[in-house]
Structure 1
Amino acid sequence: MKSIILQCALVALIFGACQQGPVRYTQNSPEIDTVKNLIANYNSKNFDTSMYADTSKTFYNTRENPLSPSEAMDYHKQTDNNYASRGFMDDQEYEMVLTDDGETWVNCWLDWKGTLAANGKEMTIPIHLTYQFVDGKIVREYGYWDPTEIVMELQKIEAAAQMAEDQEQTE
């Protein structure tokens, strides 16, 4: 009898150990699909804010002064003036995690390529974006990248234009 009770307890323990909790990490989820759609919209210059909660906050290379969804789209439209072409490249990495606090985040590591309109210089920049989701909507977005190469090139273009203007005025 002890043997049967011991065996039943062992079986119950094994089944209990096999019970899985919620998925804490995945590379396939509706939230990842939303982010992929957002990236596709960016590439096609479709500035849609429907994936964001009205109160969403976006932070690009900062932890202060967040942008609203419409301000983030305006930011992209404004920076588009500098490029003949731009967009995220194919074959990117996405993951969704459920934190210990129950928050849902999608992280992505992307390569962005742009060609400056003023001189045709092509640049590729690695970018990390992370999105927090609540009820299927983005409530936080953080984007991090090193803009140094672009800023330096735009400064060179501006300096050359200023030099040409100064030279015209002295002639």
Structure 2
Amino acid sequence: MKKIILLCTVAALIISGCQNAPVRYTQDSPEIDTVKNLIANYNSKLFDTAMYADTSKTYYNTNKNPMSPSEAMDYHRNTDINYSNRGFAKDNQEYEMVVTDDGETWVNCWLQWQGTLAANDQAVEIPVHLTYQFIDGKIVREYGYWDPSEIMLTLQKLEAEANMGEEETEPME
């Protein structure tokens, strides 16, 4: 009888222990809602830093030279001059929140960025991966990865063409 009671107690502890485990992966969380709000703000050109911790660091296509939240917003404002319109597509957005083995909370998202270059009305679509680390409901790290080659090459080509046009119109001495 003691063995049966002991086995039932151990089984009950194991079952209750498994039910109270923290969520390590989800596609629905307050942190994901924060990132969705941040994406909506980007699309609306609302450059709000309230979601970021004051000490947050943002890295776009690099692991060096982080930007503060206000510098990241300035980055977006400055790049906006290249586009007549831009934003993330509303379809096929994927979000997940994970808690790492070290207890860090991260939200990952995969999005399709779309823009139209102001200089020549060329439409551009770029897949983008963004990942955000959260502490106490605030973003403390942001990493963004995408391939800007098409945009950079087009802008360089347009600049070279403009420079060639200027050389042709300069009077000869």
Q: TM-score range by the shorter chain?
A: over 0.9
Q: Give, in angstroms, the shift of residue 128 of structure 1.
A: 0.5
Query: 2: CA distance between counterparts of 1:69 and 1:84?
Result: 24
The one-letter code sitting in structure 2 at the alignment partner of 1:68 is S
**2:41 match:** 41
1:16-31 matched pairs, under 5 angstroms? 16=16, 18-31=18-31
1:109-148 matched pairs, under 5 angstroms? 109-148=110-149
Question: Please, which runs of 5 or more residues in structure 2 have no aligned partner?
Answer: none
The one-letter code sitting in structure 2 at the alignment partner of 1:61 is N
The one-letter code sitting in structure 1 at the alignment partner of 2:64 is E
The one-letter code sitting in structure 2 at the alignment partner of 1:71 is E
SS state at 1:62 partner:
coil
**2:90 match:** 90
**2:67 match:** 67
Change (3 A) 1:69 1:10: closer
Change (3 A) 1:6 1:102: closer
User: C-alpha root-mean-square deviation of aligned residues, in Å?
Assistant: 1.7
Q: Give, in angstroms, the shift of residue 43 of structure 1.
A: 0.3
Query: 2: CA distance between counterparts of 1:3 and 1:111?
Result: 59
**1:102 match:** 103
Taking only the aligned residue pairs, the percentage that are identical comes to 72
The one-letter code sitting in structure 1 at the alignment partner of 2:160 is A
**1:53 match:** 53
Change (3 A) 1:120 1:136: same
The one-letter code sitting in structure 2 at the alignment partner of 1:15 is I
Query: 1: CA distance between counterparts of 2:55 and 2:17?
Result: 41
Normalising by structure 1, we get a TM-score of 0.93
SS state at 2:170 partner:
helix
